[in-house]
Amino acid sequence: MLTGSEALKNYSVAVVGLGVSNIPVIRFLNNYGAKITACDRKEREQLSSSIIQLEKQGVEVISGSNYLDVLYDRRFDLIVRSPGIRPDIKQFVYAVSNGATLTSEIELVFELCKAPIIGVTGSDGKTTSTTLVALMLEHSGYSVHLGGNIGTPLIEEVLDYQENDRVVLELSSFQLMTMKKSPQYALITNLSPNHLDYHKSYQEYVDAKSNIYLWQKNNHALVLNLDNAETSLIAKLVSQRVKMFSRHKTVSEGACLIESELTLIENSCKYPICKQNEVKLVGLHNIENILGAASLAFSAGATLESIRKVAISFTGVEHRIEYVKELNGITFYNDSIASSPTRAIAGLNSFTDNIVLIAGGSDKYVPFDNFGEVVANRVKSLVLLGKTTDKIYTSTVNALKKQSKEMTIKKTQSLEEAVKTAYNLAESGDVVLLSPACASFDMFKNFVERGNLFKQYVQSL
């Protein structure tokens, strides 16, 4: 699509959705002489001051409910969509049929980057795995640029990256959906139903994720989870070099646990990383995250010593089974990132103590049957909030009936009420865990705000 920044001069570009990733895109395109029309659903008074500042630099700004009409009225060379806007809306379809190329910030990075790109996707564990890979490469002496669905957008600096740098990206299904390039080194942590409020089907979600490897070349590397049914099947479908990671089985190439020791396996040689009990991260799912990250980082040039150093020192990312406080023998953990049932199940399985669980949120239209079974088995008391309250309640009660069990379940109207209720239900030695199994958008801006408020309410007990 683009051969370099010179190709951008005098391009007619519509930037649709003026969120975190697209403001830097506008600045980048404007610096290289593109003619930009910035479009957003928000009314003008709701737009950030940075957008108004760009208007003073010649960027046309169209706001309000009819912000997409301009795609019917004019022909554009390029349309840069925000990942949260589906690529098949009728305005995009019309514009593409009229000669426009539909792209995104992350696709522009792929087009313009001369450094190797390392990509991580999956239903759960993306951010932790991506962070681990970046640290392992950084400790190995590489200049690492972290972006995608984590950190800050990379578009404004991408032309400065050197061939020996490493670009590490966390890639969501929203970002991958229209990709026509894959990273040279790719990892899929796992796959399970998620984001079905955005995707039309689970198959569409899986197809979007598959773009992380679909465009790889034979000499590129793909790391897959042998313990996950979906990802283990992918190995049979591809021709590029595949490495597997597993917590339960020994692999021929990749990374696995051998007698409680995390081990890299490369060209039939075994390289011990560390003992399982040396890892500071909480939860068996984080052992999987380290194994996958180690295999990917090693493929991309990380040293064994750097991989080991990170594996035994890394304590986690905020909002991921994050210790908050102990009060009267009750320990509080913030796992606000757990926006899917599978992620919340991993959080529950991280503890052997009695758990008072706070769950619920906005509905992504994923099933809660399995989650209800696990809650019935693992949870002492359940505190619910948000739009999915009744769905989780029904799934849990049905599971309890099957198991002839009883559990205290409380429905609440706010996170503050949920925290107070959970504290009152807990006893010394218990864990109060926020692991919602749902997205946050019914009550909060995002999972970060939800997690921060949880910590605030806990601290005020």
pLDDT one-digit tens code per residue, 82-97: 998 999 999 999 999 9
Full pLDDT tens readout for the chain, 461 residues = 555 556 678 889 999 998 888 999 999 999 989 999 999 998 988 887 777 788 888 999 999 999 999 999 999 999 999 998 999 999 999 999 999 999 999 999 999 999 999 999 999 999 999 999 999 999 999 999 999 988 889 999 999 999 999 999 999 999 999 999 999 999 999 999 888 788 889 999 999 999 999 999 989 999 999 999 999 999 888 877 899 999 999 999 999 999 999 999 999 899 999 999 999 998 899 999 999 999 999 999 999 999 999 999 998 888 989 999 999 999 999 999 999 999 999 999 989 889 999 999 999 999 999 999 999 999 999 999 999 999 999 999 999 999 999 999 999 999 999 999 999 999 999 999 999 999 999 999 999 999 999 999 999 99
On whether the CB atoms of residues 38 and 18 are closer than 8 A, the answer is: yes
- Reading the block at residue 331, the tokens are 């320990």
Closest CA to 143 of 125, 129, 157: 157
- Reading the block at residue 205, the tokens are 């979600």
Entry pTM? 0.81
Cα distance between residue 4 and residue 78, in whole Å: 14
Query: What are the structural domains of the chain?
Result: 12-106 (3.40.50.720), 113-313 (3.40.1190.10), 322-460 (3.90.190.20)
* Conformation bin of residue 122: beta by default, left when phi > 0, alpha when psi is -120 to 50: left
Q: Is 90 helix (H, G, I), strand (E, B) or coil?
A: helix
For the chain, how many residues are written? 461
Q: Is 410 helix (H, G, I), strand (E, B) or coil?
A: strand
Q: How many C-beta atoms surround the C-beta of residue 87 within 10 A?
A: 16
- Sign of the CA dihedral with 428 first, then 319, 286, and 301 last: negative
Give 390's Cβ-side CA count (13 Å radius).
1
> Tokens 């991989």 map to which residue?
307
Q: How many C-beta atoms surround the C-beta of residue 425 within 10 A?
A: 17
Cα distance between residue 1 and residue 143, in whole Å: 27
Cα distance between residue 414 and residue 406, in whole Å: 24
- Reading the block at residue 159, the tokens are 């032309």
* Alpha carbon 159 to chain centroid, angstroms: 25
